[in-house]
Amino acid sequence: MAYETIIAETRGKVGLITLNRPKALNALNSQVMADVVAAANAFGADAAIGAMVITGSEKAFAAGADIKEMQSIAYVDAYTQDFFVGWEELTRTRKPVIAAVAGYALGGGCELAMMCDFIIAADTAKFGQPEITLGVIPGMGGSQRLTRFVGKSKAMDMCLTGRMMDAAEAERSGLVSRVVPAAELVEEAVKAAAKIADFSLPSVMMAKEAVNRSFETTLAEGLRFERRLFHSLFALEDQKEGMAAFAEKRKPNFTNR
DSSP-based three-state secondary structure for 18: strand
The residue among 127 and 199 lying less far from ligand CO8, judged by its C-beta, is 127
Assess 7 for contact with ligand CO8 (CB under 6 A).
no
Instruction: Figure out which of the listed residues 25, 101, 114, 197 binds ligand CO8, where binding follows CB under 6 A.
Output: 25
> Annotated catalytic residue: which of 51, 65, 122, 197?
65
Closest approach, Cβ 111 to ligand CO8, in A, equals: 6
DSSP string, 143-184: HHHHHHHH-HHHHHHHHHH--EEEHHHHHHTTS-SEEE-GGG
Assess 130 for contact with ligand CO8 (CB under 6 A).
yes
Is 108 one of the annotated active-site residues of the chain?
yes
Our CA angle for 108, 156, 86, nearest 5°, is 25
Is 65 one of the annotated active-site residues of the chain?
yes
Instruction: Figure out which of the listed residues 134, 156, 207, 223 binds ligand CO8, where binding follows CB under 6 A.
Output: 134
**Cα–Cα separations (whole angstroms), residue 192 to 120, 162, 179, 198:** 9, 31, 13, 10
Binding residues for ligand CO8, total number by CB under 6 A: 21
Contacts (CB under 6 A) with ligand CO8, residues 138-157: 138-140
Assess 202 for contact with ligand CO8 (CB under 6 A).
no
Is 12 one of the annotated active-site residues of the chain?
no
* Strand order from edge to edge, sheet including 126-128: 60-62, 104-106, 126-128, 164-166
**Cα–Cα separations (whole angstroms), residue 82 to 40, 79, 85:** 21, 5, 6
Rounded distance between C-alpha atoms, residue 27 and residue 20, angstroms: 9
Is 111 one of the annotated active-site residues of the chain?
yes
Judged on CB neighbours under 10 Å (0-12, 13-18, 19+), 91 is middle
The residue among 156 and 229 lying less far from ligand CO8, judged by its C-beta, is 156
Contacts (CB under 6 A) with ligand CO8, residues 47-66: 63-66
> Annotated catalytic residue: which of 50, 102, 131, 167?
131
Closest approach, Cβ 8 to ligand CO8, in A, equals: 22
Instruction: Figure out which of the listed residues 43, 61, 104, 149 binds ligand CO8, where binding follows CB under 6 A.
Output: 104
DSSP 59: S
- CA-nearest of 186, 14, 28, 214 to 6 is 28
Please identify every residue annotated as catalytic: 65, 108, 111, 131
Return residues touching ligand CO8 (CB under 6 A). Answer: 24-25, 27, 63-68, 83-84, 104, 106-108, 130-131, 134, 138-140
